[in-house]
Structure 1
Amino acid sequence: MMNEGHRSAAPTAVIFDVDGTLYWQKELRRRMLFELLFSALRSSQTRLDLRILKRFREDRERLGERVQSGFQEAQYRLTAEAMGLTAARVEEAVRLWIYEKPLRHLRRHRVPGIEVWLDELRSKGVRLGVYSEYPAADKLAALDLQFDAVVASTDPDVDAFKPNPKGIHVALDRLGVQPERALFVGDRKDRDQPCAEAAGLEFLWVSPSEAGAVSSFPPARHLLPEFLQKALNA
């Protein structure tokens, strides 16, 4: 039974990035590169896919500097223009190798303990969200993880890339939580951390090997903001 202090406290939330935060992205990319190279030995289409994916990732990193809105369409158009292809051909390669084929491997690359921590947070009434630069619903299903709000940079009501904080603001609105009562968990100090700070959130850094970062869940309590420590101790 929930005690009076827990019931009356303002709601809290933890919002997660996905790629590199809920699963180890570098490990997955190595696996997918092997599949790509093996397929490229037999298929000229896959050899073109390799070139597309390399350019797409480079262009997407700089997308927020090149356009101000319309990211869903621009992410394919800019790469297509640079390579002399149609946007549909770029989207086809991205859908196959970034969105579809990796799904069957995601579960085995899940960050250790994430399901345990999510269960603990949920049991204490903490609201759970995701803000990813890529659409995340299929990835979360493959990871077998559930959240109360799932937001992507290319959603129509966001249409902005990190470190622009709009995606976090949308997630907070959906969760019904104020910024000072939320934590953002991410793997990129160059994008996730300034995004969190611009939105007024505390930040928790995730990495498999970097000193000072969390490499498994649940994190040590002293790494969490005070409001979240209190919620977990309630």
Structure 2
Amino acid sequence: MTKAGALFPGGLAARLEGRKLVVFDVDGTLYDQSRLRRAMAVRLLSHIALTGNVSTLKALQAYRHAREVTADAQRADFEAEALAAAARAGRISETRARELVAEWMQERPLPLLSRCRYGGVAELFARLRTRGTLVGILSDYPAAAKIQAMGLEADAIAFAGGPGVPFQKPDPSGLQHLMEIADASPAETILIGDRDERDGEAGRRAGVDVLIRTSQPVGPDMFRSFTALIGSA
């Protein structure tokens, strides 16, 4: 601990002090999403080579694109639209599209997540628990299995389309839902994400402080690594 008894030293990390709730985005924030996607791309290309079928690739690409578009438009039927787009692109049924999304985006990546987790994440979670700070998870995709696969624990997990969260970020409903669960005010809450246009904007709309993890920090609310963020105890 520092001489002042704080769990987090100065700079951006000091903004974690005095919070009742720290909310984390998942994909690209807690783990290296580019590394995971490269690993999954190898597996998907191997699948295509074995089967000679590119419908899975086309469906997944269309699904991801549709999720981005519907997030910008803030439509509540985002999942149905994305699955419909995946089905059209892959020339498959929507039921099959749903199965492919579950398999390739939710299930197959799980064994890879622990090795893709960013350094310092587990230590930060541990420090927050030492302080009695509540840890919240807010994702645009179901996240409970991912958190478990990374060896992490959270007090509350919310995702777009789940209970109390009708829209994707940057809509603030997910943050507001977690604050209600934790009985935390905006001033007692901070959000840590990786996309300012999504996570940062959601925080601003909710009146919540935000830190953005990025490989190229260029602003006062950005940091490069969790190891640097937490500093030395």
Give the structure-2-normalised TM-score: 0.84
Change (3 A) 1:109 1:82: closer
Q: Deviations over 1:113-161 (max 9, x none)?
A: 1111111111111111010000001101100100101000110421101
Which residue of structure 2 lines up, in the alignment, with residue 105 of structure 1? 112
2:155 paired residue among 148, 155, 174: 148
Q: Give the Cα–Cα distance (whole angstroms) in 2 for the partners of residues 114 and 220 of structure 1.
A: 10
> Unaligned stretches of 5+ in structure 2?
1-5, 7-16
Shift of 1:12: 1.3
Most deviating of 35-44 and 9-18: 9-18
1:109-124 superposed matches below 5 A: 109-124=116-131
Which residue of structure 1 lines up, in the alignment, with residue 50 of structure 2? 42
- 1:179 paired with 2:183, answer no
Which residue of structure 2 lines up, in the alignment, with residue 131 of structure 1? 138
Shift of 1:167: 0.6
Which residue of structure 2 lines up, in the alignment, with residue 60 of structure 1? 67
Q: Please tell me whether the aligned partners of residues 13 and 129 of structure 1 are also in contact (alpha carbons under 8 angstroms).
A: yes
Q: Please tell me whether the aligned partners of residues 122 and 152 of structure 2 are also in contact (alpha carbons under 8 angstroms).
A: yes
Which residue of structure 2 lines up, in the alignment, with residue 226 of structure 1? none
Change (3 A) 1:221 1:144: closer
Change (3 A) 1:78 1:21: same
Q: Please tell me whether the aligned partners of residues 71 and 159 of structure 1 are also in contact (alpha carbons under 8 angstroms).
A: no
Which residue of structure 1 lines up, in the alignment, with residue 203 of structure 2? 196
Which residue of structure 2 lines up, in the alignment, with residue 87 of structure 1? 94
CA-atom RMSD in angstroms = 2.3
1:62-81 superposed matches below 5 A: 62-65=69-72, 68-81=75-88
Which residue of structure 1 lines up, in the alignment, with residue 21 of structure 2? 13
> Unaligned stretches of 5+ in structure 1?
1-5, 223-232
Q: Give the Cα–Cα distance (whole angstroms) in 2 for the partners of residues 54 and 78 of structure 1.
A: 9
Q: Give the Cα–Cα distance (whole angstroms) in 1 for the partners of residues 164 and 84 of structure 2.
A: 20
Change (3 A) 1:67 1:74: farther
2:216 paired residue among 210, 213, 224: 210
Shift of 1:103: 0.4
- 1:29 paired with 2:32, answer no
How many residue pairs get matched?
214
SS at match of 1:191: helix
Shift of 1:49: 0.6
Q: Please tell me whether the aligned partners of residues 137 and 154 of structure 2 are also in contact (alpha carbons under 8 angstroms).
A: yes
Which residue of structure 2 lines up, in the alignment, with residue 3 of structure 1? none
Most deviating of 113-122 and 65-74: 65-74
Q: Give the Cα–Cα distance (whole angstroms) in 1 for the partners of residues 106 and 228 of structure 2.
A: 29
Q: Give the Cα–Cα distance (whole angstroms) in 2 for the partners of residues 23 and 164 of structure 1.
A: 23
Q: Give the Cα–Cα distance (whole angstroms) in 1 for the partners of residues 94 and 31 of structure 2.
A: 29
Give the structure-1-normalised TM-score: 0.84
Q: Give the Cα–Cα distance (whole angstroms) in 2 for the partners of residues 106 and 159 of structure 1.
A: 27
Q: Please tell me whether the aligned partners of residues 58 and 86 of structure 2 are also in contact (alpha carbons under 8 angstroms).
A: no
